[in-house]
Each structure stands twice: as structure tokens, then as C-alpha cells.
Amino acid sequence: MSPQLRPSLISLLALVLVAVSACSTPAAQARYRYPHRTASAYSGEANSNYAGREDAMQFASDIAARNGLDPAWVRSAMGQAHLLPSVQRLMQPTPRGRAKNWETYRARFVDDAHITAGAAFWRENFQTLMRAQQEFGLPPEIIAGILGIETLYGRNMGSFRVLDALATLAFDFPPEHPRAAARTAFFRDELESFLTQESRAGADPALPRGSYAGAMGLPQFMPSSIAKYAIDYDGDGHIDLINSSTDAIGSVARYFHAFGWQPGMPATFPVLELNATPEQKSALLTPDIVPTFSAADLSAAGSVLTRQAQNFSGKLALVELQNGDDPPSYVAGTQNFYVITRYNWSAYYAMAVLELGAAIKAEVAAEEDAMKLPTSDTTHSPAHGAASPQMDDAGNATHPQTTGAPPKKIETTP
């Protein structure tokens, strides 16, 4: 090696060591806790960014004014967002005429992989799950069902840059969607919440990754739900739904508590038969999944209920689960079933949560003698004629939204 090159090489190596050391500090580790994708990973995907979009830049200025943020920071952040055509495609509604199928939907989530992973999650987080049940009233099988379906306990948290996904859906939501105007407004609110949180935290808005709808972490919370319901359940001084199972468990439990979960109330009762006339059936299904009828009302309209359901004093909803070309299955949903659908607006999703949670609980119970771990009370009775629940209207997690309260996620289809 030429003597003249040695000093330069030594200097270069020193700079590299300094850089590596800096990135190993706790501050750097916290800042880069999100999976990182380089700009080149979006080649062919990010066809344009929003820096040159007048509507996006004006919206950034409005966000800053409404929330007392630095306008230059918000505009700079918005200018880094890229339009993602793949996100637009994923948000397209399910083609009309495609029959829903509860068994097909169920099979996606209530399988050996989810049950085994869920039982392991239960054992590893047993104390936290029991604490959440004591403080919020939510059984561990519901939390296990939610986190298993959402991300398989953190294995599939999404790889889309949240900034890009939210900007795409806020400014270029597919216009052919039947609810395009409402969805656009929803995603603009979520984009505002996201940028506000990132600005106040002094974070880099280009780093977080999530679903194509902008949901993040183990529980796949939308930004507004993070702001309202996420908690620092492990007490380390910050909320981390990506790396902290404890924070995720506490946040899900708090979400359900806020939406009115009733401890000890079953989520469903079987409907053994439905002998309703077409007019009666139509009337029973009109309220959708909102508990509206007494057990006597359902019975009078042709629903054959179990004795436990007949003695239930609360309101019920007739929930239909389509099975493709086969006859549909039915359950009677309580207030707690409705609460699950506030997490994702789909009866199929809610049923899958219940069925997966019940299967995980049974798996843990089977190991109880060896593990010495108690289990909690059952909250669900399976649908008559169906092995378990189904999915929502778009094929993905459908972020809650029906009673005016913003959902945790977005609506999807089986």
C-alpha cells in the first residue's frame, strides 16, 4: 500500500467506528426501532411524492395551525410522502357477487400456527394478561385472539411506510370506492394525528412501518387510537406497541374497556335453528350487529335458542355468517360481541377472534398440569353449523367505526 494512502485510510476507519458507536447508543436504538427500508425499495412503486401537490402542502399548513406545530416541519414531512399505487389497489372494494365464506375466513386464522404461537404468547405474558384482566376486565383469550389475528404476535406488523400509506389514502383514495368521501376524510384525520404525534415526539415520520392502511404495532392501532388508547403498561416511560408485548396487551385491554366490554358477559349464544319467514329474517338482520332484540323477540321471530340464551336479560343481535353456497350459520351476539367489532367492523373478524382465543385457551389448559398456569372463564359459544367465525368486507383488518367513535383500524372484506 502506498504510504500516502495510509493516513487517509486510518481516518476513514476512525470515522466508521465513530458512526457505528453512535448508532449503538440507546437514543439511536430507540430512534431506529422500526424496520428500515431504503428509498430504493420503493423503486417502481413511489411514482410521485406530495412535495409538489398544492392540496397536500395546504393540508400540512392547516395541520400545523390547528395543532400548534412548526409549519416548516409539517410541510417538510408531507413533502417526503410518496403516492403508492399498491396501497390504492389494496383498498379497492371486494367485487360484487363474491360470496362470503365463514369456513374459508376462519381457516386463515384458526390454525395450528396461530394456536401454537398464541399458547406460547399466553405463557410468556401470563402475568401481564392476568393483570390486564384484573384492571380492565378483558379475558386473556380475547387479547390473544386479537394479537394473533392482527400480526401473529408481532411477526407480521406490515412493511409499508406509514407516511406514504396515509398520504396516499388521504389524497388519492380510489374514487370508485362507494365510500370514497368518508374514507378520504377518515385518512386525513389519521394523517393529521400521525404527523402531530411524530412532531411532538421529535421523531422521524419517515421511519414507522405498518399496514397498507397505516395501522402500527402488534395490535395494529391507527394513529388516532394510539393517541387515545395506547398506554405505557410496562412503565418504562414511553409507549412502544412495536417492541413491548406488555404495552400492546395493556393498550388492547384499555381499548376494549373504553368501548364498553362487560366482564363475565358471554359474547355469543348459539342459534340452534332459524325458522323465520323471509320478512322476519329481514327484520332481524336489519340492525346488523347492533344488539337490539330481547331473547323473547328472537324466539318469537323463529330463532331457536339455548336455555342459557333464553335466560339472558340483555339485548341481542342476530348475526349471519355466510358459508358460500352452503346455508349460513347464525349466532346471537351480545354487547361484548358488538364491542369486538369496534376493533374491526366485521362479524367474521369478531367470530375469528373468539374462536382463535378459545382454541388457544384450550391449548393452554391441555398443558396446565405441566405449566401450572390457571386459565380464565370462557366468553364464547361457537356458531351452530360453523366451526367458528369469519372475516370482514375487504379481506383485511377493518379498523373500527360505527357509533361515531373512530375505529382502531379500517374496514375490509373476506
Active-site residue, 411 included? no
Tell me 330's DSSP state.
Answer: E
Mean pLDDT across the chain: 84
pLDDT at 370: 64
The mean per-residue pLDDT over the stretch 301-328 comes to 96
Tally of CB atoms within 10 A around 275: 10
Residue 309 confidence (pLDDT) above 90: yes
Helices (H), 344-406: 347-366, 368-371
The predicted-structure confidence for 321-367, as pLDDT tens digits, reads as follows: 999 989 999 999 999 999 999 999 999 999 999 999 999 999 999 98
φ, ψ (nearest 5 deg) of residue 293: -110, 150
- pLDDT band (50, 70, 90) for residue 288: confident
Distance of CA 115 to the CA centre of its chain: 18
- Residue closest to 320 by CA, chosen among 401, 386, 259, 260: 386
pLDDT tens-digit series, residues 357-408: 999 999 999 987 665 655 555 455 544 433 333 334 333 444 433 333 444 5
**Distance in angstroms (rounded) separating the CA atoms of residues 101 and 61:** 46
Q: pLDDT-based confidence at 93, cuts 50/70/90?
A: confident
Mean pLDDT calculated for residue range 6-29 = 35
Count, in order, helices (H) and strands (E) of the chain. Answer: 19, 8
Task: Give the model's pLDDT for residue 40.
Answer: 33
Selected catalytic residue, list 103, 135, 141, 150: 150
pTM summary value: 0.80
Q: Which helix (H) or strand (E) holds 83?
A: strand 82-83
Q: Given a cut of 90, is residue 94 above it in pLDDT?
A: no
Mean local confidence (pLDDT), 192-208:
97
pLDDT at 47: 52
Segment 271-295 shows an average pLDDT of 95
Encode pLDDT of 34-43 as tens digits. 333 333 334 3
**Mean pLDDT across the stretch 186-197?**
98
Judged by DSSP in three states, 163 sits in helix
Q: What is the pLDDT of residues 119-158, one digit of tens each?
A: 999 999 999 999 999 999 999 999 999 999 999 999 999 9
Residue 74 CA to residue 198 CA, distance in Å, equals 10
Structure-model confidence comparison of residues 309 and 403, the more confident one = 309
Specify the 3-state DSSP secondary structure of 178.
Answer: coil
- Classified as helix, coil or strand, 234 is coil
